[in-house]
Amino acid sequence: MPGSRDLKLAVLPGDGIGPEITDATVAVLKAAARRTGLKLSIKQGLIGWKAYDKFKSTLPDVTLRILREHDGWIVGPTFAGEYPKDDPYRGHPNGYIRRQFGLFCNVRPVQAWPQLDPLIPDLDITVLRENTEGFYADRNLAWGYGEFKPTDDVALSLRVITAKACERFARFAFEYAAASGIGRLAVVHKRTALPQTEGLFIGAFERLNREYKKISVELVRIDTFSSLFPREPHRYKLVATTNLFGDILSDQASGLAGGVGVAPSLNAGLDHAMAQAVHGTAPDIAGKGKANPSALIFSTALLCRWFFLRTKNPACRETASVIERGVKKALEKGIMTPDLGGKASTASFAKAVVAIITDGL
């Protein structure tokens, strides 16, 4: 019944700083859940190097089984293409997860933080990125890469766009706009250079706009958007675009906001969603207690909101709000990890956020 489900999550720590920031994230999540009365069930699994060392696969069957048994996942960063060549997933386990479980939308809210010395102090934009197709070679074929070398000096890259994927992504974007109270949606494209594939993408938004008449849609070429955005950053509130463009634009937005250190991300589908920080594994600081867990913590708040949309359990939405307020208050108090100019360790930062949440925010 809606409103009565517990929150069942799988946690995959990943590589590099992954175990440190996932431990911190789970601690904050548990504190927030205790405050809101949300019942949690958490199962750990392996992905990346530790999984390969034990099972000779970066994404073993036991982990896939755990993922299938849980609707939501918290996943630490993993390497990309740096695993042994005999890995069954070609060193890209995340690409397989997105495709296999239909995580077709990457949600990237970007807000400026004063601690990051942002170029645009009040930046607030969300980029929705189609997540399963496009120019990403590890996602656009049933198996293997969408890149080919017919000869040593010729390389081809295959871009795949399907009407079905465009339709479900466009509907998600309209639903997201409606739920967020955002009345404007910018659809970023390059139809002038890619008329067939971008035509399918844009067509899905044009058709669905007849259903979502309260949402205004603006079609914007990628080059126009890239030029206007830094000069008119408040013109756009919500952006929907294809895979590669979305990857670039969301990082551009994060750069204007001060960096990706606290940038959250959610890979969402109809039945599953994965909280995963934007940043990488940072092996140079792994195990030193210097990693900033804020991005993964905020990503977990996004995951809680996704659960609220599915279950209508108000404790999920409130847990997300408690998590976000807890982290923001810690930063406002000057409790920061070294990347933000502070002295807090990963664990002590999490402990401070937990204390703030426990003491009543």
Residue 112 domain-assigned (yes or no): no
d(CA 287, CA 341): 19
Domain extent for 282: 1-104+260-361
Co-location of 10 and 85 in the same domain: yes
* pLDDT at position 1: 37
Co-location of 149 and 40 in the same domain: no
135 vs 297: which has the higher pLDDT: 297
Residue carrying the six token digits 């073993």? 60
pLDDT one-digit tens code per residue, 15-67? 999 999 999 999 999 999 999 999 999 999 999 999 999 999 999 999 999 99
Co-location of 78 and 26 in the same domain: yes
Of 236, 257, 278, which one is at a domain's C-terminal end? 257
What lies within 8 Å, CB to CB, of 336 at 6+ separation is: 115, 292, 330, 342, 343, 344, 349
Co-location of 143 and 178 in the same domain: yes
* pLDDT at position 2: 44
Q: What is the CATH number of the domain that holds 188?
A: 3.40.718.10
Tell me which amino acid residue 231 is.
R
Q: How many domains does the chain have?
A: 2
Tell me the pTM: 0.89
Of 257, 280, 313, which one is at a domain's C-terminal end? 257
d(CA 270, CA 259): 30
Co-location of 249 and 265 in the same domain: no
- CA triple 321-327-330, angle to 5 deg: 135
Instruction: Report the mean per-residue pLDDT for the chain.
Output: 92
pLDDT one-digit tens code per residue, 184-233? 999 999 999 999 999 999 999 999 999 999 999 999 999 999 999 999 99
Co-location of 98 and 178 in the same domain: no
pLDDT band at 4 (very low <50, low <70, confident <90, very high): very low
Residue 110 domain-assigned (yes or no): no
Co-location of 281 and 167 in the same domain: no
Co-location of 33 and 89 in the same domain: yes
Please count the CA atoms within 13 angstroms of the CA of 16 that sit on its side-chain side: 21
Co-location of 11 and 132 in the same domain: no
Co-location of 68 and 95 in the same domain: yes
Co-location of 122 and 53 in the same domain: no
Section 242-270 average pLDDT? 90
State yes or no: pLDDT of 142 exceeds 70.
no
Residue 3 domain-assigned (yes or no): yes
How far the first Cα of the chain sits from its last, in Å, is 31
